[in-house]
A and B are shown apart, each in its own frame.
Chain A
Amino acid sequence: MNEYISVLIMLFLAAATAAGMIVATSLIGPKIEFADKMEPFECGESQIVSSKRRFSVKFYLVALFFVIFDIEAVFVYPWAVLFKDLGWFGFVEMMIFIAILTIGLIYVWRRGALEWE
């Protein structure tokens, strides 16, 4: 039997449990609708501006850095498992790889991309 079938079963079971809880509440709970109640929550006020508005570009920058550094982590993971078998070659290779990324981090830092105002 494939090892990962259990993951699928677990996902299915969890989804069924969650859906079951929600169906149960929707059967038991009251259902009263009126216009003011269905407004988005705004501390008792009517909504003034839509929530679909622009937000700081800083968040995109963080996402970009994440992609770069996460790929680093993805590369280092198999290396960490095979560390013994790869010998000095693997060691030196990875040191060069991490050094390049560290230079990248220093560059980003010095350019001020990590500063939040």
Chain B
Amino acid sequence: MTETVVAAAGSGWLRIIIGLIVVLLFSQLNALFLVWLERKVAGHIQLRPGPMEVGPHGILQTIADGIKLVGKELITPRSADRILFVIAPVLVFMPVLVAFLVLPFDQHLIIRDMNVGLLLIFAFSTFSVLAILLGGWASNNKYALLGAIRSVAQNVAYEIPLLLSVMSVVLMTHSFRFSEIVAAQHRFWFIFLQPVAGLIFFIAATAETNRAPFDIPEAESELIAGFHTEYSGMRFGLFFLAEYTNMFIVSAVAASLFFGGWQGPFGFSLGLPGLVWFLIKVYILLFVLMWFRWTFPRVRFDQLMNFSWKVMIPLSLANLLVTAVVVKLI
């Protein structure tokens, strides 16, 4: 069915416009769903039911929360840098949607199958760090500033193992194009050929999205809320939306690079369409991210930095070298 829709949309402007609107709606709905799922998972891990009152099993809880957020006052602190304070939430939200342009939901369900797809995602995901730094600095609050600085230090430290682990996949496929990377995993998913790279990618991605156990930038027990301490109402909501959309993106990239994207295991599709396979994988990875959060205690900042520079970077370099040698010899 998706093929007919895609064929009807063609490849020109119409396809882009339809794609962008669908992506916009999907990312919002997905964020609402993920917030509910996170609370539900947290509840069940701690042996309590989680949200139950609004809708069946609390499924409408986040919609109620969203309506509440829209009705809240937007507070700008007196000593804040007004312009930067106002544009930071918009800037943090903008780049996360760009990644959806190149994500391969199915063989034909890619809005734009660019030859630099992977690079585009990493280029734009780095933007949100700048927006976080802007927001934290402009708040003129020391908790916000500390959170912002920590966020930048953490993001730059984990950016390198992230890029290097992806490189070993690129070495094997000779392409940044998502459709080619996924197609190359027709028989064996890259998680079997590149287990170390897959592990490094997933850990670094957890750190990049500021998720526990790497949620030092917003460690609520020491920094209140970190970089978004001063933000209220929908401005805070935008940071929140961006965080959950980012989680989806890193899981989607991990699913496409290491878990075969829209393809079933070992070339068996079991009659399920590619889109379903892709979403199953992404939501399993998202569940693992949430599982992490409610299982591991938060790491200390020195542990965080040492782990990146002394373990992840040497390991990813070694993995890259071994991959290069093996690919060369085969």
Residues of A within 8 A of B (CB): 1, 3, 6-7, 9-11, 13-15, 17-19, 21-22, 24-26, 28-32, 35, 37-43, 49-53, 55, 59, 62-63, 65-66, 69-70, 72-73, 76-77, 80-84, 88, 91, 94-95, 98, 101-102, 105, 109, 114-117
Contacts and interface: CB of A to CB of B under 8 A. Distances in A.
B320 A37 contact: no
Given A40-B79, A76-B164, 19 more contacts: A6-B111, A9-B16, A15-B93, A18-B93, A19-B90, A22-B234, A25-B71, A38-B76, A40-B230, A70-B160, A73-B167, A76-B320, A80-B167, A81-B174, A82-B174, A84-B174, A88-B328, A98-B317, A116-B305
Candidate in B71, B156, B175 with the most chain A CB atoms within 10 angstroms:
B156
B70 interface: yes
A76 B174 contact: no
24 contacts: A3-B112, A6-B112, A10-B97, A10-B100, A11-B94, A14-B24, A14-B97, A21-B238, A22-B74, A22-B235, A24-B70, A28-B70, A29-B73, A38-B75, A40-B230, A62-B305, A65-B309, A72-B160, A76-B320, A83-B171, A83-B324, A95-B324, A116-B301, A117-B302
Contacts of A29: 70-74, 233
The main secondary structure of chain B at its interface with chain A is helix
B200 interface: no
Interface string B66-82: 00011111111111100
Contacts of A51: 139-142, 144-145
Contacts of A101: 317
A102 B157 CA distance: 16
Contacts of A80: 167, 170-171, 174
B63 interface: no
A25 B72 contact: yes
Interface centre among A53, A65, A77 (most CB of B within 10 A): A77
A6 B12 contact: no
A9 B152 CA distance: 28
Contacts of B301: 116
B152 to A, nearest CB: 8
Contact of A6 (B20, B156, B167, B224): B20
Nearest to B141: A40
A66 B160 contact: yes
Contact of A18 (B119, B238, B317): B238
B153 interface: yes
A22 B69 CA distance: 10
B76 to A, nearest CB: 8
B140 A52 contact: yes
Contacts of B79: 39-40
A19 B310 CA distance: 42
Contacts of B112: 3, 6
B101 interface: yes
Interface in B57-108: 69-80, 86, 89-90, 93-98, 100-101
A3 B119 contact: no
Contacts of B74: 22, 25-26, 29
Contact of A40 (B23, B77, B89): B77
A30 B238 CA distance: 19
